[in-house]
Structure 1
């Protein structure tokens, strides 16, 4: 397979793997990938995953890449907070939840970190479509908060919560508390329930 043929076949793909190419050409030799990297046609993200160098690296594309290179996973934690406007500043790297082991990748486009959740907690994410035929998975606002508190057990008091710098107005106006309560029941942790109740006490405090 020539590069021009690969480019045409995968022109609408954000990220592709060696396996994807093999499905197009069973006899494809991976040394071609090294040649195309040397020529600046493609970039290697991690072992087995690549992007075209002319890919527009907008937020949506980076989120899709995060989903694809470590599966199953969805965007959550601080990255989801910033996406929804829950915190004022962007965070370093892209944070995701996954059912497999906690891991971190440093790539030419971003640093991707994944935190482990039990399989029964792998729910509560939205599939967001962009550019007509592309999409990425991201935790709902409610699920991102629960994931964050579940993983960060050190957040226990008012000062810890205030240190996150949540946007009070967005939390009060956008969070579906009934949905959050349904999700909370699945976690089944009294300590998490207690800390989420404290979150609401802090947020409702006029002095926040």
Structure 2
């Protein structure tokens, strides 16, 4: 029985070693009942040979070692962040910090989603998803890098998302200043585009926040 179990775990590792992530559905070509696959995955996780990204989604430890050796682990994290809880795109604090608009290091990768707000914490990082209404889930860009394709806001859309999710808490110029946003990095064209997003959203609160900041 133990030999059969070891044989199954070896088959799984061979099958997934080149995949950036996998689910139990990817293992259906192995002709065993799903409950046996789940037992094997649990054993592999206990042995540190696979990493659970969230319930039902995994990557192999060898794949993680491989991308770290190549120096592409940051890109992999961005890619995997959008796969853990789709549909989603990178935005908010993570993108603002990357573009020097925020100076405080974010506690993980921040994303916008159409789904309910959600947080995942695994061995690789923390992934924080904030819900935004469907009509504002837009204007992100496709990133193609190191063989991965995923979605990410630029700094203007990330700033809009950041302000929108705080619009009920920013009701004075002083509170806007407390955000400590470095808006000097924005060009006039980017400020105009932010204003366009705010005009499209249409609320008095967002227009007032824009006046507080600019």
Coarse TM-score class (shorter-chain normalised) = 0.7 to 0.9
TM superposition score normalised by structure 2: 0.80
1:41 paired to 2:42: no
Query: What's 1:5 paired with?
Result: 14
Query: What's 2:154 paired with?
Result: 140
> Shift of residue 26 of structure 1?
6.5
Give structure 1 stretches of 5+ with no counterpart: 201-208
- The 2-side partners of 1:185 and 1:26 are apart by 56
Query: What's 1:77 paired with?
Result: 92
* Conserved 8 A contact 1:3-1:36: no
Query: What does 1:9-158 align with in structure 2 at a 5 Å threshold?
Result: 11=18, 13-22=19-28, 24-25=29-30, 27=32, 29-54=37-62, 55=64, 56=67, 58-131=73-146, 133-152=147-166, 153-158=168-173
Q: Which has the higher helix share?
A: 2
Give structure 2 stretches of 5+ with no counterpart: 1-7
* Conserved 8 A contact 1:98-1:115: yes
RMSD over aligned CA atoms reads 2.2
Query: What's 2:200 paired with?
Result: 186
TM superposition score normalised by structure 1: 0.82
User: For 1:45-92, what per-residue CA distance to the aligned partner results, in whole angstroms no more than 9, with x for missing partners?
Assistant: 211011121314632222212111111111111111112221223211
Number of matched pairs: 194
SS of match in other structure, 2:51: strand
- The 2-side partners of 1:160 and 1:14 are apart by 42
**Structure 1 stretches of 4+ moved >3 Å:** 24-28
Higher deviation after alignment, 68-77 or 28-37:
28-37
